[in-house]
Amino acid sequence: METRPGAPRAARETKSDGVSEQSEREAEPASTRRGALGRRELLMAGSLGAVVLVLGISGLGLIPVPNSTGNATLLHLPVVVGGVLGGPYVGLILGGVFGTFSWVDHAAPIFRDPLVAVVPRLFIGLVAWWVFFRLASRGRYLAAAAAGALGSAANTAGVLSAALLLGYIPAYVVLAVLPQALLEAALAAIAVAVALRLWSAVSGSRAGRREE
């Protein structure tokens, strides 16, 4: 019977290649794979949802401002991060958590209406996911920053549009809120880019240990 010394090595190389490909897939944010809702995504939604609630209940994520919104918010940051790293379903869940908290807390009178407090927030993570998914091929960190900024803009535009259409605020309030909106968008852009960097570093380190 003829032996083939090269066969075990080839088998090992094939197995190694398979592990590498699997590790690379796991290191990619779910948003680049059109999204999913598996165990990892549910864990992410639960963890970031808890961050939203802690920021809201503690007041750390709410900065008082002298306009109709009552507060500049940081609660949208976990939502845009979740949309980019976890995909559309995670973003939708987190938007619901943010919106529900805003409705229950109603720091400003306009947020007593769920059409203003809840519905617009459902689109934050979805917009962030879509922007990242479309732009990731042009550079992941550029895509992440754009996703953060536009996800935040979706929050501002959605809330103000709903409040205007329902007659809760006059049109001139939009100009008063603009500086706040720009600051929130800039913070979101930075937060998502940093979160993606950390995610890639942690996932890459874990994948390297697995291959060893």
> What is d(CA 17, CA 84) in angstroms, rounded to the nearest whole number?
27
H-type alpha helices, 32-172: 39-58, 76-86, 88-105, 114-117, 122-135, 140-165
For 70-106, b/e burial (b = at least 16 CB within 10 A) is: bbbbbbbbbbbbbbbbbbbbbbbbbbbbbbbbbbebe
pLDDT tens for 57-110 read 998 988 887 776 677 889 999 999 999 999 999 999 999 999 999 999 877 788
> What is d(CA 46, CA 130) in angstroms, rounded to the nearest whole number?
21
Work out whether strand 62-64 and strand 71-73 pair parallel, antiparallel, or are unpaired. Answer: antiparallel
> What pLDDT does 66 receive?
74
Residues 6 or more apart whose Cβ sits within 8 Å of residue 164: 171, 174
Q: How confident is the model at residue 37 (pLDDT cuts 50, 70, 90)?
A: confident
User: What DSSP state is assigned to residue 176?
Assistant: H
Written in H, E and C, the secondary structure of 16-33 is: HHHHHHHHHHHHCCHHHH
Mean per-residue pLDDT over the chain, rounded: 83
Q: Which two tokens stand for residue 163?
A: 């409040």
Q: Which two tokens stand for residue 158?
A: 């959605």
Residues 6 or more apart whose Cβ sits within 8 Å of residue 20: 207, 211
Nearest to 52 by CA among 81, 16, 21, 88: 81
Burial (Cβ within 10 Å: 0-12, 13-18, ≥19) of residue 26: middle
> What pLDDT does 34 receive?
55
DSSP, collapsed to helix, strand or coil, labels residue 116 as helix
Are 182 and 175 a contacting pair, CB within 8 Å? no
Task: For tokens 């990619």, name the residue.
Answer: 28
The model carries a pTM of 0.80
Q: What is the CATH number of domain 29-201?
A: 1.10.1760.20
